[in-house]
């Protein structure tokens, strides 16, 4: 009986040791796949902050400069799908009157996701916008060339 108990412990110890090595090896393999996008996230956040500041000041050139030239802007209504020229016309109407808008962001709600190659970023955040776009969730894709201007 005692020998059997020792045999089970020895086998159990060997199994856990092997699975521990496999788990560590898998953890190291996964760590090697992780890319640090801290600099890219800071660039995206810089662009978003500039976009918000320009919207608040109704600064058309600075605001539109935060978007890619080939943007497709999706509003909350299914008919609100604007290309760059259409979106610029919409924004210009308000900004020409000196009417911008402010985004009252919910603290710590911004989430930036960058695809593995680091060329495209998406973001989401909760806001309590005030102004003509109060209901529009502005969530553009930020191409690498546009980050951190």
Task: Tell me the per-residue pLDDT of 73-98, one tens digit each, with 9 for 90 and over.
Answer: 887 778 889 999 999 999 999 999 99
Is residue 115 in a domain?
A: yes
Is residue 94 in a domain?
A: yes
- Domain extent for 113: 38-146
Is residue 15 in a domain?
A: no
Is residue 116 in a domain?
A: yes
**DSSP summary character for residue 102:** B
Give 126's Cβ-side CA count (13 Å radius).
Answer: 4
| CATH number of the structural domain spanning residue 136 | 3.10.450.50
9-13, 16-20, 25-29 — which is least confidently predicted? 9-13
Is residue 20 in a domain?
A: no
pLDDT tens-place string over residues 42-61: 888 899 889 989 999 999 99
pLDDT tens-place string over residues 97-131: 999 888 777 767 788 888 888 888 888 777 665 55
Token pair in block for residue 70: 């080939």
Output the pTM of the full model.
0.62
Is residue 25 in a domain?
A: no
> Cβ(72)–Cβ(82) under 8 Å?
yes
Q: Which residues contact 141 (CB under 8 A, 6 or more apart)?
A: 68, 120, 121, 122
Question: How many domains does the chain contain in total?
Answer: 1
Instruction: Determine the Cα–Cα distance for residues 73 and 24; give it in Å rounded to an integer.
Output: 45
> Cβ(68)–Cβ(141) under 8 Å?
yes
Is residue 4 in a domain?
A: no
Q: Give the number of residues written for the chain.
A: 149
Is residue 91 in a domain?
A: yes
Q: Binning pLDDT at 50, 70 and 90, where does residue 68 land?
A: confident
């Amino acid at each position: 009986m005692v020998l059997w108990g020792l045999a089970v412990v020895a086998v159990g110890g060997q199994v856990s040791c092997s699975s521990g090595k496999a788990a560590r090896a898998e953890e190291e393999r996964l760590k090697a796949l992780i890319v640090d996008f801290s600099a890219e996230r800071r660039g995206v956040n810089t662009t978003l902050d500039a976009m918000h500041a320009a919207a608040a000041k109704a600064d058309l050139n600075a605001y539109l400069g935060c978007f890619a030239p080939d943007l497709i802007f999706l509003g909350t209504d299914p008919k609100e799908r604007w290309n760059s020229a259409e979106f610029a016309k919409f924004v210009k109407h308000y900004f020409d009157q000196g009417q911008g808008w402010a985004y009252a962001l919910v603290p710590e709600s911004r989430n930036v996701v960058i695809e593995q190659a680091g060329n495209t970023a998406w973001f989401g955040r909760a806001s309590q916008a005030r102004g003509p776009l109060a209901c529009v969730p502005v969530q553009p894709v930020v191409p690498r060339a546009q980050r951190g201007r």
